[in-house]
Structure formats: structure tokens, C-alpha cells
RNA sequence: CGGGACGUAGCGCAGUCCGGUAGCGCACCUGAAUGGGGUUCAGGGGGUCGCGGGUUCAAAUCCCGCCGUCCCGACCA
């Protein structure tokens, strides 16, 4: 275990607090490569739990996993005009395939062999639309081949200027779904369906409330017709884009010649969608729930849901409490609970409490000689509250407690978000709101890029999402809060 | 690339103004006691003071150059 030092309070420096929580929960570490991150076992376990839940949801909606290459020929990026513009500034390139010894010492002992230059450089995928649709073109012949519903779990590289653990790293892990459909309506339905899947996952599993909607043109995915996104409010009152789903129209189908023959015999371009969520969600999880004692993990995604801390003085007591602790562990594990028995002899119980709290374990069971005698354990919840519990009822009381914690975390996050939200914002109220720290402001917006840019310039606020007109309620504002022209949202 | 700060042990830092044996806290190793909310005592290991040059009897400290990192902006899942 690394040094468990006091975590910087959230109120003092949010970025520092965020880094402290991650380091002390042992979720990740900085790597020797600038901008890259090492995900440690505790953090990776969260990702595995996320993967498993999402995979089930993807499969239930008819999608299959596949894997496409890491390298993309540079010319592929050039085929879709907006796409290349969007990613040109942040790609890593492979240009050579060999090194050679120079005979010099130290760092100069090897150099790039100029004779090994590739005829066409390879791009390390910043996203896989191009290479996937190049394959789709081979696989799709007839309307009978549609819809084609695929997903891949992989790593991608975007050479970002500034990086932050989990939120924006040079290399990151994600999932990217790619589909091809016969009609625009089908593609639109797919893009929205996957947005709904993400919402369900983020609210039910991550206990992170989100708002969804369409992105403005300035924030839409490079090459998409429409981009939908999920937005969550973090504890520093800043928005986090937690996932996106794009209706790509026929842009990539035309660029990669993905055509199918219709039942009537004609030739048509397919309609594509792509959608993805990333390890950024782990950052979102940290910023949504954690406190000044460290990580708070929602039970459904907690790598360890229950930790048992035995307490003893003599060797005799040690044997007793470890015996009971071992039995409790086996029973809970058999009931499907992720449980750990901390039998280390090198730390006092109090030190163990702090350590497991920093790692976000939702429930702690303390078992000492007094508990063994009384046939009970002390239960302590991560959010506070200690109570004794009967030994023989644990397999029902613990799952109940975990469900309750999950629900409480979601409600608390929602309450926090609403405490920093205003509805029906006017320009004056909005300016005042932003001066007071901001949050989510709901208001009318005309949709013009100039208003959007002005708002950003003057208040540092960004337009996060536009609700669809069809979801627009009767009391929705009719005019732009900034310029008073008719509102589109 | 523009603005600011900083580089001294694994981490966090003091020492720099005013040159004179490289220090503190945490972590790590050994031993003993301790054990229901960060345990104590004793002993121990670990540093080309970012790099290069200059001044000086003597440089972490003064001077010059370079490199790197972090924070704020532009970019972004």
C-alpha cells in the first residue's frame, strides 16, 4: 500500500483533490510517457465491471463485438473532409519501421533508420470510422446484410495538448459501436437508442444523473450529421461530457463506398451510426461521488463491495476472529458479493479503515472478540453510520444495504446537481448565476454560432445540449436568453 | 504557442536572499511491544541537489545557457 496521506479538501483545490483521490485509491498512476496513464488493478477492475454491464446491454440490443486494426493508412483519414479536419491536429503517426545502432553512448545509441521509411505513414487510430467502414464496404452487398451492428473495445490515441488522469489522456480505452442501416430513420433510431442505453448505464450503474440531448454544430463529431451527448454535473460545478452517439448520415458511406442493393434492385448508400464511452467515465465516477476521505464507489461498480476487518489482541483471539471472518467471507462470496478479508498483521484496525475508505469500499464489517461472543458484526457504511448486525442474517442484510447505498448515492448526486441548476434562465439571471459559480442553466437558445461564441467568451459557459423539439415542453422558453430571437430549444 | 510557478531521497517539502559536512515529514527495511478510528520506541537503507558551463580556496546556494514539469488559456471523449 502506498503512503496514505491526507487528501486535499475539495473546497481548496479541486484538481488537486481529484488527483489525490485517484492516487490514494490506487486507481491509476502517471506513466513515463507524457500524457499517458497507467491504470492500476483497482481502477482496471472498475473498467472491467463497466465493460461487463455495457456488453450485456449491447448484446441485448443486437450488437456483436469485433476487432479492427490499431493502424489506419493515412489516406483513409482524407476521404471524409470534415473528419480529417477534426482529427488532423492530434494524430500519432508511424513513419518508420526500424532503428539502427549508431555506436554512440547513452540515449544516442540508437537512431531511426532512414531507409525504413514507410511509403504511406500509418495513423494510430484516433477513432475507427474509416477503417471499419472500409471493411463494411466489403461485407455489405444487399439489404439482407442490414442492419450491421458492431462494437469494438480498444485503445485509441489522440495527441491532446493538455491531459488529466482519466478525463483526457493521450491514449485511452473505450468502446466504439458502429452500425450500418438501410434508412435514415433506422439510423436515427439506433443513435437515440444507444444514447438511452448509456443513460441507463450511467444512472443505474454509476449512480450518476445525466441530461441528454443534441450537440450544436460547433461541438458535433467531425463527419457526423447529428451528435447526441450525455452531460453530468461534477462537484466543482463543471459539466462532463460522459458519452456521445452520432448519426453519421451517409457521409462515411459515400467516402468509403458502402452501398447495398435494395429489394427493388436499386443501389443505395447505407446510413451509419457510431457511439462510444471511455475510461473518462471512471473520472466522472470519482468526481460525482467521492469526498475528502477518498473514493466513494457505487456498490454496483465497486471492485470490493465489502471488506472485513478483524480485530484481535492475543493469538487466541486472532484465531477466533479470523475463523469467523473467513466464514463470513465465504458466505458473502457465495451470495455473489465481492468481499475481501483484511487479515494483515502489520496495521492497526484504524489504519485499515482509512485505507479501505480511500479505496471506496461501500461496506466494512468489523469483527472483534466482543462480536464473536455476541454472534454479531459491526457494519460501517462508507458514507457514515455504524450498526451491529446478526451474523446469520448477513447474506440478506448486506445485499439490501448495498442496494440502499446505490440508491442514496444517485439521489445525493441528483440533489447536488439540482442545487446548482437554474431553469427558465434570462440573460441577467444567467450572468449572475455564472458569477456565483455556475452549474446547469436551462434556457432558450436561438442556435446561432455567434450567440454560442459570445456566451462562451463572456461567461466561460458552453452550450452543452439542445433538447429535441419533440421533447420540448409547453413551458419551455420561446426566445433566446441571449439575443431574444426565437428559441430552437 | 501565449501568461504564471516550480525542479533537492519513492512522495511532499525546508535549505537558496546572506556560498562553508545535504536535512525534515511520510513511505520503505529490522526488532520489540501495541491492537474496537491513522500505534510507539529503538536501529537502518536510500540523494550525480534537472543538465551544461562560468565565478570562487569552496556552489543546492551567485552568474550565463539549455532541458523538463505543473497550473491558467486555445484543442478534446
pTM across the whole model = 0.95
Strand partners, A37: A30
Answer for A361: CB within 7 Å of strand B.
no
Strand partners, A230: A212, A243
- How confident is the prediction for chain A on average, in pLDDT? 92
Answer for A347: CB within 7 Å of strand B.
yes
Answer for A20: CB within 7 Å of strand B.
no
Residues in contact with A394: Cβ distance below 8 Å, sequence separation at least 6, in sequence order: A328, A331, A332, A365, A377
| Cα distance between residue A57 and residue A52, in whole Å | 9
A151, A175 contact by CB (below 8 A): yes
Nine-digit cell at A318?
A: 486472532
Answer for A244: CB within 7 Å of strand B.
yes
What is the DSSP secondary-structure string of A165-232?
A: TTTB-SEEEEEEEEEEESSHHHHHHHHHHHHHHHHHHHHHTS----EEEEPPGGGS-TT-SEEEEEEE
Answer for A161: CB within 7 Å of strand B.
yes
Residues in contact with A124: Cβ distance below 8 Å, sequence separation at least 6, in sequence order: A70, A71, A72, A91, A92, A93, A94, A156, A157
SS3 A92: strand
SS3 A466: strand
ipTM given for this complex? 0.85
| Cα distance between residue A119 and residue A96, in whole Å | 9
Query: How many residues would you count in chain A?
Result: 489
Answer for A284: CB within 7 Å of strand B.
no
| Cα distance between residue A301 and residue A142, in whole Å | 42
Answer for A155: CB within 7 Å of strand B.
no
Closest nucleotide (C1' vs CA) to A222 is: B76
Peptide bond into A147 cis (omega under 30): yes
First to last CA, chain A: 51
Per-residue pLDDT tens for A51-63?
A: 999 999 999 999 9
Torsion A403-A294-A291-A232 (CA) sign: negative
**DSSP tag of A293:** T
Per-residue pLDDT tens for A312-362?
A: 999 899 999 999 999 999 999 999 999 999 999 889 999 999 999 999 999
3-state SS, A152-174, equals EEEEEECCCCCCECCCECCEEEE
Per-residue pLDDT tens for A211-222?
A: 999 999 888 999
Phi-psi domain of A269 (left: phi exceeds 0; alpha: psi -120 through 50; beta: other):
beta
SS3 A70: coil
Instruction: Look at strands A339-341 and A306-310 and give their pairing.
Output: parallel
Answer for A369: CB within 7 Å of strand B.
yes
Q: C-alpha distances in angstroms, A136 versus A24, A140, A156, A178, A242?
A: 44, 6, 20, 10, 28
Q: What is the pLDDT along chain A (489 residues), one digit of tens a residue?
A: 344 567 888 887 888 888 889 988 999 887 777 788 889 999 999 999 999 999 999 999 999 999 999 999 999 999 998 888 888 888 888 998 988 887 766 666 777 888 999 999 999 999 999 999 999 999 999 999 999 999 999 999 998 888 888 998 888 999 999 999 999 999 999 999 999 999 999 999 999 999 999 999 888 999 999 999 999 999 999 999 999 999 999 999 999 999 999 999 999 999 999 999 999 999 999 999 999 999 999 999 999 999 999 999 998 999 999 999 999 999 999 999 999 999 998 899 999 999 999 999 999 999 999 999 999 999 999 988 899 999 999 999 999 999 999 999 999 999 999 999 999 899 999 999 988 888 999 999 988 888 888 888 888 889 999 887 665 666 778 899 999 999 886
Q: Write out which nucleotides of chain B lie closer than 7 A to a protein Cβ.
A: 1, 10-11, 26-28, 34-39, 68-77
A451, A445 contact by CB (below 8 A): yes
Closest nucleotide (C1' vs CA) to A321 is: B36
Closest nucleotide (C1' vs CA) to A318 is: B35
Answer for A178: CB within 7 Å of strand B.
no
Contacts of the segment A471-478: beta carbons below 8 A, 24+ positions apart: A475/A424, A476/A444, A477/A424, A477/A443, A477/A444, A478/A444
pLDDT at A1: 37
Amino acid at each position: 500500500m502506498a503512503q496514505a496521506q491526507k487528501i486535499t479538501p475539495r473546497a481548496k483545490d479541486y484538481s488537486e483533490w481529484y488527483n489525490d483521490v485517484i492516487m490514494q485509491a490506487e486507481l491509476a498512476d502517471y506513466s513515463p510517457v507524457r500524457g499517458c496513464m497507467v491504470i492500476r488493478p483497482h481502477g482496471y477492475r472498475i473498467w472491467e465491471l463497466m465493460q461487463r454491464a455495457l456488453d450485456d446491454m449491447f448484446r441485448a440490443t443486437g450488437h456483436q463485438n469485433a476487432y479492427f486494426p490499431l493502424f489506419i493508412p493515412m489516406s483513409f483519414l482524407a476521404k471524409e473532409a470534415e473528419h480529417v479536419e477534426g482529427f488532423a491536429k492530434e494524430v500519432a503517426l508511424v513513419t518508420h519501421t526500424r532503428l539502427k545502432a549508431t555506436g554512440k553512448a547513452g540515449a544516442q545509441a540508437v537512431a531511426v533508420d532512414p531507409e525504413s521509411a514507410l511509403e504511406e505513414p500509418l495513423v494510430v487510430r484516433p477513432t475507427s470510422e474509416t477503417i471499419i467502414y472500409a471493411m463494411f464496404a466489403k461485407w455489405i452487398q444487399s439489404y439482407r446484410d442490414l442492419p450491421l451492428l458492431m462494437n469494438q473495445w480498444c485503445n485509441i490515441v489522440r495527441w491532446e495538448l493538455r491531459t488529466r488522469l482519466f478525463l483526457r489522456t493521450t491514449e485511452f480505452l473505450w468502446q466504439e459501436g458502429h452500425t450500418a442501416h438501410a434508412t435514415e430513420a433506422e439510423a436515427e433510431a439506433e443513435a437515440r437508442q444507444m444514447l438511452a442505453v448509456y443513460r441507463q448505464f450511467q444512472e443505474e450503474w454509476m449512480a450518476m444523473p445525466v441530461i441528454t440531448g443534441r450537440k450544436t454544430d460547433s461541438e458535433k463529431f467531425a463527419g457526423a450529421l447529428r451528435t447526441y451527448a450525455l452531460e453530468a454535473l461534477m462537484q466543482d460545478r463543471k459539466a462532463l461530457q460522459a458519452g456521445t452517439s452520432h448519426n453519421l448520415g451517409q457521409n462515411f458511406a459515400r467516402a468509403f463506398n458502402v452501398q447495398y442493393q435494395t429489394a427493388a434492385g436499386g443501389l443505395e448508400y447505407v446510413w451509419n451510426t457510431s457511439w462510444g464511452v471511455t475510461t473518462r467515465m471512471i473520472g466522472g465516477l470519482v468526481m460525482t461521488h467521492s469526498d475528502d476521505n477518498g473514493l466513494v464507489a457505487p456498490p454496483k461498480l465497486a471492485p470490493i463491495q465489502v471488506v472485513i476487518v478483524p480485530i484481535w489482541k492475543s493469538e487466541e483471539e486472532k484465531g477466533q476472529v479470523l475463523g469467523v471472518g473467513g466464514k463470513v467471507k465465504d458466505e458473502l462470496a457465495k451470495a455473489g458479493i465481492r468481499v475481501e478479508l483484511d487479515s494483515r498483521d502489520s496495521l492497526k484496525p484504524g489504519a485499515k479503515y482509512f485505507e479501505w475508505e480511500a479505496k471506496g469500499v461501500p461496506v466494512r464489517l468489523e469483527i472483534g472478540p466482543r462480536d464473536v461472543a455476541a454472534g454479531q458484526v459491526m457494519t460501517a457504511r462508507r458514507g457514515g453510520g455504524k450498526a451491529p448486525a446478526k451474523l446469520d442474517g448477513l447474506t440478506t442484510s448486506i445485499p439490501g444495504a448495498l442496494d440502499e447505498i446505490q440508491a442514496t448515492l444517485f439521489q445525493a448526486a441528483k440533489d447536488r446537481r439540482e442545487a446548482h441548476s437554474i431553469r427558465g434562465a434570462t440573460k441577467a439571471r444567467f450572468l449572475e448565476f455564472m458569477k456565483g459559480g455556475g452549474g446547469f442553466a436551462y434556457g432558450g437558445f436561438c442556435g446561432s454560432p455567434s450567440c454560442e461564441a459570445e456566451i462562451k467568451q463572456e461567461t466561460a459557459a458552453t452550450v452543452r445540449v439542445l433538447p429535441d423539439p419533440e421533447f420540448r415542453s409547453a413551458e419551455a422558453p420561446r426566445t433566446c436568453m441571449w439575443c431574444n430571437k426565437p428559441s430552437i430549444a
